[in-house]
A and B are shown apart, each in its own frame.
Chain A
């Protein structure tokens, strides 16, 4: 049989691009189908109104929404229409996907993250399992990402430093704001181990890309220099894989054992077909499960690769939350005031002292705390000053004065807690046959529940972060740990495993039930680790690319 392509990839983000890069560079004919447009370095800007206030990089919720079934404390389910409630689970419809918009805080998972059940035991109400690969299997690929995508940083010894095959990062750490010294000093006093946060941002011209311009607007914004290691800048612009943009894949076809073609709509809603020897799904966790569930036929009446009803199950987010403290001019001398207001330079500090910890004699899996300055978005910063200290809404000159004082004589240092979102039967993806998107397809349903254990661990970590802020002299310290899901940190739904009855994918991320279907976004993850997912998604996708190369 003649195929259009050797490999057809659905989705061009961190899960899909490594496959495209590796297979096309190996001489195979590769196509990537991407729902969004191709926006290059010349097309992007730091337009806060467009990017942060009007969500220009995600679909209009009126046209494409999710349904959220939120499980309440009493066990009842509340249904939210994502459009009506402005609850947005999209992360970046564009070539390179949401990796364009990430902050690029890059941490590897730790060896024990791969064997959570063996090391920490079961948690009641959660479906914790060990991974079917080990840290050692993935380490060479973490290292490859450092080189190929570009990770800058400085390796320092600490209690939970993962084993490395190289001594240091290939790119020196980015320039840092002087307040990091206050942080390091506070950690010394407290006996905590300050870690320079590795970033998927180039600190020098390399890889035929420009260095970071320290624009002060990194997270949420696409990079205009190419320094950020987005799947587009780092991989798709460096290979000859064909990328078809504004192509929404709505259905897969198969026979009993193989995917035969994918169907996609172009922007005029005209349908097209693509045939290939191998198909790779990487549409981001929720959408990958949705596409499989929407692809039913006589061989797979419950959806593609779903004869064991595992597709969509064990959806993960990242548990934890965030907190902050404010440094005020009135508490600082003139030199420190100047240091505080340096803009552009990165804060880049993390703590992993409690990646594992003991409490009441029990061993817990903990997590990571990243510290960063409040986002430079000026409209957001001004808008958070609408209330006075008594909690009363203010306006007029009182508001004008408050905004001016807060934004010109103080600065907020934030922290983000990342810990495991335990997989459960209550958190999963399904589809809503009655609610269709603009393409006429049933929308994805996010059935949402966070295990109480997650909040307990998050609280433990947040309180440690507060100690650092207090020691540094911050005021107005607060934090919020909850079971609210961060839409940009999503994984699971097609977990990999040895047993076809309890997993969708095998250890190669190939569907158990189909010979030529792979899933390489974060869907494969049975547990998420306690770090942001992107580095692991990249690394695993490079691993699967090597496997496909051997088999094709």
Chain B
């Protein structure tokens, strides 16, 4: 048992996105969730699941969190947004975001989209979704160029030979 906890802790420390954020309600700890779990669900709530899957958008978020050219502030904002979204969900439904029904999740997104941070956060997540849907497949996204085919897009040549991370 102890070993399990220990190894889980080690795992949590390895990635910023997988580490827990504390969801607070009325100044007390309500639950702890990982931003990655929340973001995976949010991505499917913000863009059709089939396209998110084809784009491999879940894995792309991990790549963004490790990217040398995404600033620490931007990474922190992505993480904080996941925490605040959960706090909104708890305030309204007494459940963390991932435990809500689809309708409740959409309602929660509507609520936060009327707030300055929430609008900005949803736009940020959408931007990364677009990068995954329409970026070069070299990055492990846009499988079979499905995003480009969707829009009839001819990419510029030459294509990249290695990722810029």
Residues of A within 8 A of B (CB): 44-50, 53-56, 60-62, 83-84, 86, 213, 215-217, 221, 224, 343, 376, 378-379, 382-383, 386, 393, 395-397, 399-400, 403-404, 407-408
Q: Which 4 pairs from chain A and chain B are nearest by CB?
A: A46-B156, A217-B156, A50-B164, A47-B160
Out of B46, B123, B150, B152, name the residue touching A396 (CB < 8 Å).
B46
Rounded to whole Å, the gap between the CB of B1 and the closest CB of chain A is 42
**Number of B interface residues in the complex (CB < 8 A):** 44
Out of B67, B70, B122, B157, name the residue touching A46 (CB < 8 Å).
B157
Asked whether A224 and B158 contact (CB < 8 A) given A378-B151, A393-B119, A408-B152, the answer is yes
Rounded to whole Å, the gap between the CB of B162 and the closest CB of chain A is 9
Asked whether A216 and B109 contact (CB < 8 A) given A54-B164, A386-B123, A399-B126, the answer is no
Q: A45-B161, A46-B160 are in contact. List 6 more A-B contacts (CB 8 A).
A: A53-B131, A54-B67, A86-B71, A378-B153, A395-B46, A408-B152
Pairwise interchain contact B122-A49, C-beta atoms closer than 8 A: no
12 residue pairs of the A-B complex, CB under 8 angstroms, read A46-B156, A46-B158, A48-B134, A49-B139, A213-B157, A378-B148, A383-B126, A383-B127, A395-B45, A400-B48, A403-B151, A408-B151
Pairwise interchain contact A48-B136, C-beta atoms closer than 8 A: yes
Rounded to whole Å, the gap between the CB of B117 and the closest CB of chain A is 13
Chain A CB within 8 A of B68 CB: yes
How long is the Cα–Cα vector from A217 to B127 in the complex, in angstroms? 21
Pairwise interchain contact B135-A49, C-beta atoms closer than 8 A: yes
Closest to A392 in B: B113
Closest to B148 in A: A378
Asked whether A215 and B156 contact (CB < 8 A) given A378-B151, A379-B131, the answer is yes
Chain A CB within 8 A of B14 CB: no
Chain A CB within 8 A of B155 CB: yes
How long is the Cα–Cα vector from A408 to B113 in the complex, in angstroms? 28
How long is the Cα–Cα vector from A397 to B157 in the complex, in angstroms? 31
How long is the Cα–Cα vector from A44 to B164 in the complex, in angstroms? 12
Closest to A217 in B: B156
Chain A CB within 8 A of B101 CB: no
Pairwise interchain contact A400-B47, C-beta atoms closer than 8 A: yes
Pairwise interchain contact B155-A46, C-beta atoms closer than 8 A: yes
Chain A CB within 8 A of B2 CB: no
Chain A CB within 8 A of B103 CB: no
Instruction: List, in ascending order, chain A residues with CB within 8 A of B113's CB.
Output: 393
Pairwise interchain contact A393-B134, C-beta atoms closer than 8 A: no
Pairwise interchain contact A395-B47, C-beta atoms closer than 8 A: yes
Instruction: List, in ascending order, chain B residues with CB within 8 A of A215's CB.
Output: 156-157
